[in-house]
């Protein structure tokens, strides 16, 4: 498998280089040179295969021997060790629950697969790999859980003090072992700036082996293709074309779906479902891409004003607006509409959906008004992750998974620092 940069189609790097670097030096994004179609036989036998078997086959096909089969199988089996069940609401609406992993959000797929793959590429190094990540909330929990107890890798996660939810903070600060949380007296931008300075600091890069667990790493995108095949398998008895509605922020999830389609999965359309941060639906409508500062909403993991994977979407369609529009439609919704939908789904179907999934549901409903189809909504997080909002909106208590409930009793451990680079640097030099 070879990869190029969306900024330079002539660049060629190996999977190992792309995964360990995260991003090309030209600030583009890595893309596979070949996205081969799966053989017809794979689709014929889909129904009889387990999620893990499907994931292994897709991974082997896409990676084309970049990792020996036996090692790749082990990576997939260890990373994808939880379910992605499809829940039927009615004959035309299904919910794909992507929240059965350790941090209860779909980001577990990407984070776990990236962790196992990095550990594999790092396996013969004698010196520890130090991963630095800044988080505004959700990514940190998935990365912490994904790398927990990974041999040879230590993770330092910076988060802004008082600016992540109490539950998110617990997900970052209670694991221990190879995971260290740093509580920064500042904003998310301060955290990101500290990490960026560290990567540019020769004193650090000469003495430590640094890497990032960036959300744009190709190793996070690859496993997100797996569950589109799994969802298709579970929905197969249904009639008509199949459409996926994807609640989107940075558009990694939707881009993975486009890769699955390119590998031959017969998906009729993708629906880009957003909150008020609607730069991609606006692009699909007008052909003009106008990134801007993000607006805060109820579905805050989608509060992105300049989606990083948009460059990959353009690249897949040779930057041709009409080609993108043929495969992707977009709709955006307000917080009021989102809350209304959550209550509606609760009443009509007795199903509790989180605010992100509710945006996906609204978009599917809107699409179906003019396009009859079987629709699958990606439910990206467990509603229990947003228990305060969800119980307030629905007006009744909801079920909380035991893993979340137990977090409350665990002790928070974090290193507190000011948003000051020399302090962060000296902490790293002394402790890493």
Ligand X SMILES: *Cc1c(COP(=O)(O)O)cnc(C)c1O
Distance CA 212, CA 220 (A): 12
* Contact indicator for 149, 179 with CB cutoff of 8 Å: no
User: For 231-290, where are the E strands, in sequence order?
Assistant: 242-247, 269-274
Give the residue, chosen from 234, 253, 297, 332, that forms a contact with ligand X under the rule CB under 6 A.
253
Which residue lies nearer to ligand X by CB, 245 or 250? 250
Which residue lies nearer to ligand X by CB, 174 or 277? 277
- Among residues 14, 111, 121, which one has the least CA distance to residue 71? 121
9 three-state secondary structure: strand
Interface of this chain with ligand X, residues 350 to 389, rule: CB under 6 A? 356, 380-381
Q: Establish if 136 lies at the interface with ligand X (CB under 6 A).
A: no
Q: Which stretch binds ligand X (CB under 6 A): 145-153, 241-249, 343-351, 394-402?
A: 241-249
Q: Establish if 107 lies at the interface with ligand X (CB under 6 A).
A: yes
User: For 277-395, where are the E strands, in sequence order?
Assistant: 328-332, 374-379
Give the residue, chosen from 302, 376, 390, 407, that forms a contact with ligand X under the rule CB under 6 A.
302
Q: Establish if 269 lies at the interface with ligand X (CB under 6 A).
A: no
Q: Look at the block and give the residue holding tokens 């109820």.
A: 298
274 three-state secondary structure: strand
Q: Which stretch binds ligand X (CB under 6 A): 144-152, 200-208, 245-253, 314-322?
A: 245-253
Q: Establish if 111 lies at the interface with ligand X (CB under 6 A).
A: no
DSSP 386: G
Which residue lies nearer to ligand X by CB, 46 or 302? 302
Give the residue, chosen from 32, 186, 223, 247, that forms a contact with ligand X under the rule CB under 6 A.
247
Q: Which stretch binds ligand X (CB under 6 A): 15-23, 173-181, 249-257, 342-350?
A: 249-257
Which residue lies nearer to ligand X by CB, 146 or 249? 249
- Quote the least distance from Cβ 275 to ligand X, whole Å: 10
Q: In what order do the strands lie in the sheet with 30-32?
A: 8-14, 2-5, 30-32
- Element of type H or E holding 400: none
- Give the C-alpha distances (Å, rounded to integers) separating 70 from 51, 58, 75, 134, 314: 17, 14, 9, 33, 34
Report the first-to-last Cα separation within the chain, whole angstroms: 33
Distance CA 425, CA 211 (A): 15
Which residue lies nearer to ligand X by CB, 73 or 101? 101
Q: Establish if 250 lies at the interface with ligand X (CB under 6 A).
A: yes
- Give the C-alpha distances (Å, rounded to integers) separating 427 from 87, 413, 431, 432: 47, 16, 6, 8
412 has catalytic annotation: no
Q: Establish if 251 lies at the interface with ligand X (CB under 6 A).
A: yes
Which residue lies nearer to ligand X by CB, 255 or 374? 255
Determine which one of 107, 170, 261, 385 is catalytic: 107
The set of catalytic residues is 107
Give residues in contact with ligand X (CB under 6 A).
Answer: 105, 107, 138, 247-253, 301-302, 356, 380-381
């Amino acid at each position: 498998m070879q990869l190029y940069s969306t900024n330079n189609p002539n660049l060629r790097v190996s999977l190992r280089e792309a995964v360990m670097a995260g991003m090309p030096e030209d600030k583009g994004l890595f893309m596979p040179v070949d996205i081969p179609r799966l053989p017809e036989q794979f689709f014929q036998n889909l129904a009889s295969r387990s999620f893990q078997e499907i994931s292994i086959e897709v991974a082997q096909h896409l990676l084309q021997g970049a990792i020996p089969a036996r090692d790749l199988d082990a990576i997939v089996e260890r990373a994808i060790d939880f379910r992605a069940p499809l829940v039927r609401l009615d004959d035309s609406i299904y919910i794909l629950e992507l929240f059965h992993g350790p941090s209860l959000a779909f980001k577990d797929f990407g984070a776990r697969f990236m962790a196992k793959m990095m550990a594999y590429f790092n396996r013969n190094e004698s010196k520890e790999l130090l991963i630095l990540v800044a988080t505004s909330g959700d990514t940190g929990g998935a990365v912490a859980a994904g790398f927990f107890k990974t041999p040879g890798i230590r993770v330092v996660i910076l988060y802004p003090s008082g600016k992540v939810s109490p539950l998110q903070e617990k997900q970052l600060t209670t694991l221990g072992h190879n995971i260290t949380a740093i509580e920064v007296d500042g904003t998310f931008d301060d955290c990101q700036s500290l990490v960026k300075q560290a990567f540019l600091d020769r004193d650090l890069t000469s003495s430590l082996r640094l890497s990032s667990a960036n959300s744009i790493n190709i190793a996070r995108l690859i496993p997100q293709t797996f569950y589109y095949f799994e969802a298709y398998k579970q929905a197969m008895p249904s009639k008509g074309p199949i459409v996926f509605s994807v609640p989107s922020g940075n558009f990694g999830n939707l881009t993975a779906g486009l890769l699955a389609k390119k590998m031959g999965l017969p998906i009729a359309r993708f629906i880009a479902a957003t909150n008020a941060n609607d730069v991609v639906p606006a692009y699909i409508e007008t052909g003009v891409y106008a990134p801007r500062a993000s607006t805060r909403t109820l579905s805050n993991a989608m509060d992105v004003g300049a989606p990083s994977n948009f460059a990959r979407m353009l690249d897949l369609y040779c930057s041709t607006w009409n080609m993108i529009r043929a495969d992707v439609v977009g709709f955006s919704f307000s917080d009021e509409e989102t809350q209304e939908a959550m209550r509606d789904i609760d009443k009509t179907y007795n199903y509790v959906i989180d605010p992100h999934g509710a945006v996906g549901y609204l978009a599917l409903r809107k699409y179906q008004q003019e396009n009859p189809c079987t629709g699958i909504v990606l439910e990206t997080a467990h509603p229990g992750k947003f228990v305060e909002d969800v119980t307030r909106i629905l007006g009744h208590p909801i079920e909380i998974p035991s893993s979340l409930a137990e977090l409350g009793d665990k002790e928070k451990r974090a290193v507190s620092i000011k948003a000051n680079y020399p302090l962060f640097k000296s902490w790293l030099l002394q402790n890493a």
